């Protein structure tokens, strides 16, 4: 833990201004990730800007008929909000698949998107890690990589993004609202997180000083045929080895519209437009689902411990597509896989 000063921001402007002025300042929301990382000496901010009093804690109807979730809405508030529960059950389900009730009570929408990888090495300053200290190397590629990525990796980093919520948001094509020193902007959630490439130290497109103000859900209705299927090393309270968010719009037996995002397999929620296109206009069938799965995983690359994820992801995709198509989404309390 290093020494830091603390400021409780009273307006978005103030928060942004103060953060922009200090390159090692960090916003703090629920603190469930940042404080851990500070204790591990992974994050060493000199200034904490507490944003929890900012007026970003509401869920509101948006102009286009969707919902706008304030960045400070906690994960549990979002999951149990009746509007989200009814209109975006995929999001509720994904949130409830993550962490524990205690954590979800503190964790916020913005913080969840910006939580950092759970790569063992990233958390341990006694080891090298390109994400933590650029240029030091990536011991995970030749070390323990059970929880690491199989898609979109680079030789410099094979970490995954651990969020469940973000996977559902990617499938729902949510939009992230950002305020910064240069004003406001929006970006599609799928473009928010980046792949590691040559700069694994950069997780997202967010610039220093920018703050997430909200996440907006478009009005498209996927409340009937959806699922969030999460596979992990115990039945609850573990990060995903592989997770699949599926949102379908069915017209009779036909899949009119399909969205599919994978978690636990890449540096960002993984979507594959080509695979989604294969589903459109088709009816649910094992063979189709298997070829969709094969398509998504065709460029997957496994390492010593995590190669199993390739096969597991295919199986999970097939099952999740069936769950969604048949309108029997995975329960997050009954641990039997539907």
Partner 1 sequence: MQQPNAYIGTPQNRVDGRAKVTGGAKYAAEFEAPDLAFGIVVSSAIAKGRIKSIDTSAALAVPGVLQVFTHENRPRTAWLDRNFRDETAPPGSPFRPLYDDKVIYSGQPVALVVAEEFELAAHAASLVRVEYETEPHMTDLDLKRSEAYVPPKKRSGVKPPPSPRGDAEGVFAQAPVKVHAEYRVAIEHHNPMETHASTVVYEDDGTLTIHDKTQGAQNSQSYVASVFGLSSSQVRVVSPYIGGAFGSGLRPQYQLFLAVMAALELKRSVRVVLTRDQMFTFGFRPLTIQTISLGANPDGKLLSIMHDATQTTSTFEDYQEVVVNWSNLLYHCDNVKLTYKLAQVDTYTPTDMRAPGAALGVAAIETAMDELAYATGIDPVELRLRNYAEMDEADKKSFTSKELRACYQLGAERFGWEKRNPEPRSMRDGRELVGWGMASGVWEAIMQKTAARAVLTQDGNLEVASATMDIGTGTYTILTQIAAETLGLPMTSVATKIGDSSLPKSPVQGGSWTAASAGSAVQNACLSVREQIFKYARQMESSPLANASIEQVTFAEGRIHLTNDPSASVTFAEAMQAGGVERIEAEEKASPGMLTSMRYSGYSHSAVFAEVKVDEELGVIRVTRIVTAVAAGTILNPKTARSQILGGVVFGLGMALEEESMLDHNLGRFMNHNLAEYHVPVNADVYDIDVIFVSEHEEMLNPLGIKGLGEIGVVGTAAAIGNAIFHATGKRIREYPITIDKLLG
Ligand X SMILES: Cc1cc2nc3c(=O)[nH]c(=O)nc-3n(C[C@H](O)[C@H](O)[C@H](O)COP(=O)(O)OP(=O)(O)OC[C@H]3O[C@@H](n4cnc5c(N)ncnc54)[C@H](O)[C@@H]3O)c2cc1C
From 274, 265, 229, 267, select the one nearest 247 (Cα to Cα).
Answer: 229
126 binds, among partner 1, ligand X, ligand SF4, none (CB under 5 to 8 A by kind): partner 1
Contact flag: residue 139 with partner 1 (CB under 8 A): yes
Contact flag: residue 150 with ligand SF4 (CB under 6 A): no
Which of 12, 16, 29, 297 binds ligand X (CB under 6 A)? It is: 29
> Minimal distance in Å, beta carbon 42 to ligand SF4?
10
Which of 42, 79, 84, 129 binds ligand SF4 (CB under 6 A)? It is: 129
List of residues 6+ apart from 303 with CB closer than 8 A: 140, 141, 145, 148, 158
Give the torsion through C-alpha atoms of 153, 270, 107, 20, to 10 deg. 60
Stretch that binds ligand SF4, among 27-35, 36-44, 138-146, 170-178 (CB under 6 A): 138-146
123 binds, among ligand X, ligand SF4, partner 1, none (CB under 5 to 8 A by kind): partner 1
From 154, 162, 173, select the one nearest 271 (Cα to Cα).
Answer: 173
Stretch that binds ligand X, among 119-127, 161-169, 277-285, 292-300 (CB under 6 A): 161-169
Q: Which lies closer to partner 1 via its Cβ, residue 74 or residue 145?
A: 145
> Minimal distance in Å, beta carbon 113 to ligand X?
8
Contact flag: residue 181 with ligand X (CB under 6 A): no
Which of 73, 165, 241, 310 binds ligand X (CB under 6 A)? It is: 165
Contact flag: residue 30 with ligand X (CB under 6 A): yes
Contact flag: residue 312 with partner 1 (CB under 8 A): yes
Contact flag: residue 115 with ligand X (CB under 6 A): yes
Cβ 281 vs Cβ 254: under 8 Å: yes
Residues 26-45 that bind partner 1 (CB under 8 A): 39-41
Which of 31, 139, 181, 218 binds ligand SF4 (CB under 6 A)? It is: 139
By CB under 8 A, name the binding residues for partner 1. 1-3, 39-41, 118, 120-121, 123-124, 126-127, 139, 142-144, 146-147, 231, 233-239, 241, 305, 308, 311-312, 315-316, 318-319, 335-337
């Amino acid at each position: 833990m290093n020494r830091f000063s603390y400021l409780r921001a009273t307006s978005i402007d103030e928060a942004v201004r103060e953060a922009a002025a200090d390159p090692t300042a960090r916003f703090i929301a629920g603190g469930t990730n940042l404080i851990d990382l500070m204790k591990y000496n992974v994050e060493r901010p000199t200034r904490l800007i507490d944003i929890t009093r900012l007026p970003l804690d509401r869920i509101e109807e948006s102009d286009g008929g969707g919902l706008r979730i304030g960045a400070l809405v906690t994960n549990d508030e979002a999951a149990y909000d009746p509007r989200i529960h009814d209109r975006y059950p995929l999001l509720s389900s994904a949130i409830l698949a993550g962490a524990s009730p205690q954590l979800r009570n503190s964790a916020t929408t913005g913080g969840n998107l910006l939580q950092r990888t759970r790569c063992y090495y990233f958390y341990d300053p006694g080891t090298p890690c390109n994400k933590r200290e650029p240029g030091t190397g990536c011991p995970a590629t030749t070390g323990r990589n059970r929880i690491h990525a199989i898609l979109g990796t680079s030789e410099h980093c094979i970490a995954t993004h651990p969020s469940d919520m973000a996977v559902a948001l990617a499938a729902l094509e949510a939009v992230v609202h950002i305020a910064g020193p240069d004003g406001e902007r929006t970006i599609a959630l799928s473009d928010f997180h980046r792949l590691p490439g040559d700069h694994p130290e950069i997780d997202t497109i967010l610039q220093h000083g920018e703050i997430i103000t909200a996440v907006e859900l478009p009005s498209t209705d996927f409340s009937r045929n959806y699922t969030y299927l999460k596979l992990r090393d115990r039945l609850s309270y573990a990060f995903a080895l592989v997770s699949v968010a599926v949102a379908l719009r069915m017209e009779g037996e036909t899949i009119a519209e399909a969205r599919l995002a994978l978690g636990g397999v890449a540096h960002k929620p993984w979507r594959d437009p080509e695979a989604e296109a294969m589903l459109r206009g088709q009816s649910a069938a094992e063979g189709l689902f298997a070829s969709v799965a094969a398509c998504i995983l065709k460029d997957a690359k496994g390492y010593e411990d995590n190669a199993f994820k390739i096969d597991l992801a295919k199986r999970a995709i097939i099952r999740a597509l069936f769950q969604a198509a048949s309108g029997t989404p995975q329960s997050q309390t009954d641990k039997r896989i539907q």
